[in-house]
Chains A and B, each alone.
Chain A
Amino acid sequence: MSVFPRRLTLCAAATALLPVAVSAPAAAETHVVVIDHMKYAPVPPLKRGDVVEFVNRDLFRHTVTATNGKFNLDLMPGTSGRLTINSAGTAAFFCKYHPGMRGSMTAQ
């Protein structure tokens, strides 16, 4: 399975929507994920349509870069960026400036 977040700001992401049969989908939510002390906070369980807002509260510039190249947020300290989840699956991401920083998110 794969998840394909679509960047809201600086939008350039691929939109390979998976056909998903959904009856009475739950309302989309926005989840804030803080980046601080060289770490991403855990991303809560997601569903299609949710928005994940990454907020960089660290001293340093970080990215949220998909290991599969599907999305990239470049965040200066004190800034934030959003991804919209448009399919189910799991996506791993890392910071291209500090590659030991890694995280993942899963949508149902």
Chain B
Amino acid sequence: MTRTLLFTVAAGALAVAVPVQAAGPTDPQIAHIAYTAGNLDVEAGKQALKISHNAEVRGFAEEMVRDHSAVNDKALALVKKLHVTPEANDTSAALTKAAAAEHDKLAKLKGAAFDRAYLANEVAYHKTVNGALKSTLIPSAHNAELKSLLETGLTLFSEHQAHAEHLAATLK
């Protein structure tokens, strides 16, 4: 028996329905999903730093690279300590595929058009990941330290979402 974990990624451009175990993802799968989600936003931030000349957008991108890298460093240290091997899964693969498509789309843009598209995607991406953290990943996590890190991640990513929404509004 399976249930559906739905990720709507990249500004609503791609809806990815992923079957997972009825009891929810396992801790190794959750670790892989969380790390992948963070890493994809680090890469998006690096892309923005290569293309954008807007000081506020660059500041936001630097924040994304810095914060998500910090969470992922902590996640790596935690799985090592727990002797857990993150397990690749369909959700991580779907996130990666959607991010690659978004990367290619953004690569064709410049100037204000890039800034607007990047921020719109950041809003949508954080909204998606935060929804998954709240509804599936945090409730499914068994290890207390992993759950705590995910909860810190949710607080952080909610701040990122609010920051992205604020910046996106100022660019319009």
Contacts and interface: CB of A to CB of B under 8 A. Distances in A.
Contact of B152 (A59, A77, A100): A59
A99 interface: yes
A78 to B, nearest CB: 11
Nearest to A36: B152
Interface string A73-108: 000010000000000000000000111110000000
B159 interface: yes
Interface residues of A, number: 11
Interface string A26-41: 0000000000011000
A-B pairs, 8 with minimum CB distance: A98-B159, A59-B70, A38-B155, A100-B159, A60-B67, A37-B152, A60-B70, A59-B74
B163 interface: yes
Given A38-B156, A60-B66, A99 B71 contact: no
Interface residues on B, range: 10 to 19
Nearest to B63: A97
Contacts of B63: 97
B112 interface: no
A77 B152 CA distance: 15
Contacts of B89: none
Nearest to B166: A99
Contacts of A99: 159, 162-163
Interface of A: 37-38, 59-61, 77, 97-101
Interface string B147-171: 0000010011011001100000000
Interface in B95-115: none
Interface in B40-58: none
Given A37-B152, A38-B156, 5 more contacts: A59-B71, A97-B159, A98-B163, A99-B162, A99-B163
Contacts of A37: 152, 155
A100 B158 CA distance: 9
19 contacts: A37-B155, A38-B156, A59-B73, A60-B66, A60-B67, A60-B70, A60-B156, A61-B67, A97-B67, A97-B159, A97-B163, A98-B156, A98-B163, A99-B159, A99-B162, A99-B163, A100-B158, A100-B159, A101-B159
Contacts of B152: 37-38, 59
B162 A100 contact: yes
A101 B73 CA distance: 22
Nearest to B163: A99
B45 to A, nearest CB: 14
A60 B70 CA distance: 7
